[in-house]
Structure 1
Amino acid sequence: MSGTQFSKPLIYMLIGSAIILALSLGVRHAFGLYLVPMSQEFSWGHNVFSLAIAMQNLIWGAAQPFTGALADKYGSKIVVAIGGFLYAVGLLLMAVSSTGLLLNLSAGLILGLALSATSFSVLLSAVGRAAPPEKRSLAMGIASAAGSFGQFIMLPSTLLLLQSVGWSAALVVSAILIAFIVPLAFMLKAPTYQNPNAQASTKPSLSFKQILVIAKNHKPFGFLALGFLVCGFQVVFIGIHLPGYLIDHGFSATTGTVFLALVGLFNVVGTFSAGWLGGKYSKPMLLMWLYGLRGVAIIAFLLLPLSVWTVYAFGIIMGLLWLSTVPLTNGIVANMFGVKYLSMLSGIVFFTHQIGSFFGGWLGGVNHDMTGNYNIIWMFCIALSLLGVLVHFWVNEENVVHD
Structure 2
Amino acid sequence: MNDPIRRAAPAVALVLLAAAGTFALTMGARQSMGLFLGPINSATGLGIASISLAFAFGQLWWGLTQPFAGMVADRIGAGRVLLAGVLLVALGTALIPFMTSTAGLVLAIGVLAAGGAGMAGPSVLMSATMRLVPLEKRGLATGIVNAGGSFGQFVFAPIAQGITAVAGWAASLQSLALITLLALPAAWVLRGSHAAAAAAAGATAKPLSTGEAIRQAFADRSYRLLAAGFFVCGFHVAFIATHLPGVVASCQLPPAVGAWALAVIGLFNIVGSFAMGWAVGRWRMKSLLSLVYATRALAVLAFLLAPKTEAVVLLFAAVMGLTFLSTVPPTAGLVAKFFGPANMATLFGFVMLAHQVGGFLGAWLGGKAFEASGNYDWMWIADILLAAGAALVHLPIRENALPPRAVVAA
Task: Report the TM-score when normalising by structure 2.
Answer: 0.93
Shift of 1:193: 12
Do 1:13 and 1:189's aligned partners in 2 also have CA atoms closer than 8 Å? no
Q: Which moved more, 1:235-244 or 1:39-48?
A: 39-48
Do 2:75 and 2:195's aligned partners in 1 also have CA atoms closer than 8 Å? no
Do 1:83 and 1:118's aligned partners in 2 also have CA atoms closer than 8 Å? yes
The equivalences for 1:359-374 within 5 A come to 359-374=361-376
Q: Which residue of 1 aligns with 2:236?
A: 234
Q: Which residue of 2 aligns with 1:217?
A: 219
Q: Which residue of 1 aligns with 2:40?
A: 38
Q: Which residue of 1 aligns with 2:391?
A: 389
Q: Which residue of 1 aligns with 2:345?
A: 343
Shift of 1:138: 0.9
**Partner SS state of residue 349, structure 1:** helix
**Partner SS state of residue 305, structure 1:** coil
Shift of 1:93: 1.4
1:306 equivalent in alignment to 2:326: no
For residue 334 of structure 1, what is the amino acid of its counterpart?
A
Do 2:75 and 2:193's aligned partners in 1 also have CA atoms closer than 8 Å? no
Do 1:225 and 1:353's aligned partners in 2 also have CA atoms closer than 8 Å? yes
Shift of 1:11: 1.8
CA distance in 1, matches of 2:45, 2:20: 38
Shift of 1:57: 0.9
User: CA offsets per residue over residues 139-158 of structure 1, 9 Å max, x none?
Assistant: 11011113321111111000
CA distance in 1, matches of 2:298, 2:6: 35
Q: Which residue of 1 aligns with 2:169?
A: 167
Q: Which residue of 2 aligns with 1:147?
A: 149
| Cα separation, partners in 2 of 1:194 and 1:59, compared to 1, 3 Å | closer
Shift of 1:256: 0.7
1:274 equivalent in alignment to 2:298: no
Q: Which residue of 2 aligns with 1:321?
A: 323
CA distance in 2, matches of 1:398, 1:79: 32
The equivalences for 1:1-400 within 5 A come to 7-189=9-191, 202-400=204-402
Shift of 1:266: 0.5
CA distance in 1, matches of 2:356, 2:191: 28
User: CA offsets per residue over residues 250-271 of structure 1, 9 Å max, x none?
Assistant: 1011011111100000100001
Do 2:62 and 2:117's aligned partners in 1 also have CA atoms closer than 8 Å? yes
For residue 118 of structure 1, what is the amino acid of its counterpart?
A
Residues paired across the two proteins, number: 400
CA distance in 2, matches of 1:225, 1:6: 35
Do 1:131 and 1:193's aligned partners in 2 also have CA atoms closer than 8 Å? no
CA distance in 1, matches of 2:317, 2:355: 21
CA distance in 2, matches of 1:193, 1:74: 8
CA distance in 2, matches of 1:183, 1:204: 32
For residue 43 of structure 2, what is the amino acid of its counterpart?
E
**Partner SS state of residue 247, structure 2:** helix
CA distance in 1, matches of 2:231, 2:333: 17
Q: Which moved more, 1:379-388 or 1:39-48?
A: 39-48
User: CA offsets per residue over residues 281-315 of structure 1, 9 Å max, x none?
Assistant: 10000000000000000001111111111111001
User: CA offsets per residue over residues 173-222 of structure 1, 9 Å max, x none?
Assistant: 11111122223321214786999xxx986543211121111101101000
**Partner SS state of residue 205, structure 1:** coil
CA distance in 1, matches of 2:303, 2:55: 25
Gaps of 5+ in 2: none
**Partner SS state of residue 180, structure 1:** helix
Shift of 1:77: 1.1
For residue 214 of structure 2, what is the amino acid of its counterpart?
L
For residue 114 of structure 2, what is the amino acid of its counterpart?
G
Do 2:77 and 2:192's aligned partners in 1 also have CA atoms closer than 8 Å? no
Do 1:132 and 1:193's aligned partners in 2 also have CA atoms closer than 8 Å? no
Do 1:9 and 1:190's aligned partners in 2 also have CA atoms closer than 8 Å? no
For residue 330 of structure 2, what is the amino acid of its counterpart?
L
| Cα separation, partners in 2 of 1:293 and 1:6, compared to 1, 3 Å | farther
CA distance in 1, matches of 2:191, 2:73: 12
Do 1:131 and 1:192's aligned partners in 2 also have CA atoms closer than 8 Å? no
User: Percent identity of the aligned residues?
Assistant: 36
CA distance in 1, matches of 2:399, 2:242: 33
CA distance in 1, matches of 2:332, 2:278: 14
Task: Report the TM-score when normalising by structure 1.
Answer: 0.95
**Partner SS state of residue 358, structure 2:** helix
Q: Which moved more, 1:217-226 or 1:69-78?
A: 69-78
| Cα separation, partners in 2 of 1:86 and 1:300, compared to 1, 3 Å | same
For residue 23 of structure 2, what is the amino acid of its counterpart?
L
CA distance in 2, matches of 1:183, 1:3: 25
**Partner SS state of residue 369, structure 1:** helix
| Cα separation, partners in 2 of 1:152 and 1:5, compared to 1, 3 Å | farther
| Cα separation, partners in 2 of 1:393 and 1:5, compared to 1, 3 Å | farther
Gaps of 5+ in 1: none
Shift of 1:120: 1.2
CA distance in 2, matches of 1:158, 1:6: 37
**Partner SS state of residue 312, structure 1:** helix
**Partner SS state of residue 73, structure 2:** helix
Alignment RMSD: 2.2
For residue 113 of structure 1, what is the amino acid of its counterpart?
G
For residue 152 of structure 1, what is the amino acid of its counterpart?
F
